[in-house]
Amino acid sequence: MVDWSMRQAVKKLMSKGEVTSRPVNLAQDARTGPVNVKDVEKQAIEALRTCFDPEIPVNIYELGLIYGVTVNPSGQVGIRMTLTSPFCPVAASLPAEAEEKVRAIPGVTGAKVEVVFDPPWDPSRMSEAAKLQLGLL
């Protein structure tokens, strides 16, 4: 359940156009032939592993901020992600960085990040590697 203050923060970000509540449309704007969906998904995850929250020395994939990566045979990639908090200072730049890095993968015709706050992020979403790196194990 999302509390009132989180809803207000999301509304504020949405009003500025910094996040969207619209579902990712993977059928839009296909420009090339079919891509190997599994290969592009692996490459997208590797690209997301190069994005870091500046306050935490762990990449966003291992932090558990990525809820899903979907690849369409047309080369469109959809990324569902969250932030550690709706008040995160990189609420605009981190999703944009993730989208930019995935868009740079050969064969990707477009990428769209959908920022969601339900379910909310919590430390249990971190990988064992992230917990070890942060001294939580």
Domains of the chain and any CATH numbers: 4-133 (3.30.300.130)
Residue with the bigger pLDDT between 3 and 35: it is: 35
pLDDT in tens, 79-96: 999 998 888 888 889 999
Q: Per-residue DSSP letters for 20-69?
A: --SPP-TTS---SS---HHHHHHHHHHHHTT-B-TTSSSBTTTTT-EEEE
Check residue 57 and give its pLDDT: 87
Check residue 86 and give its pLDDT: 86
∠ at Cα 9 (5, 11), nearest 5°?
115
Q: Which residue has the tokens 């990707």?
A: 108
* pTM reported for the whole predicted model: 0.75
Check residue 22 and give its pLDDT: 47
Cβ neighbours for 11, distance < 8 A, ≥ 6 positions apart: none
Segment 42-63 shows an average pLDDT of 94
Q: Please give the Cα distance from 102 to 14 (Å, whole number).
A: 22
Q: Please give the Cα distance from 53 to 40 (Å, whole number).
A: 23
Confidence of residue 9 (pLDDT cuts 50, 70, 90): low
Segment 5-23 shows an average pLDDT of 56
Both tokens assigned to 37: 């969906």
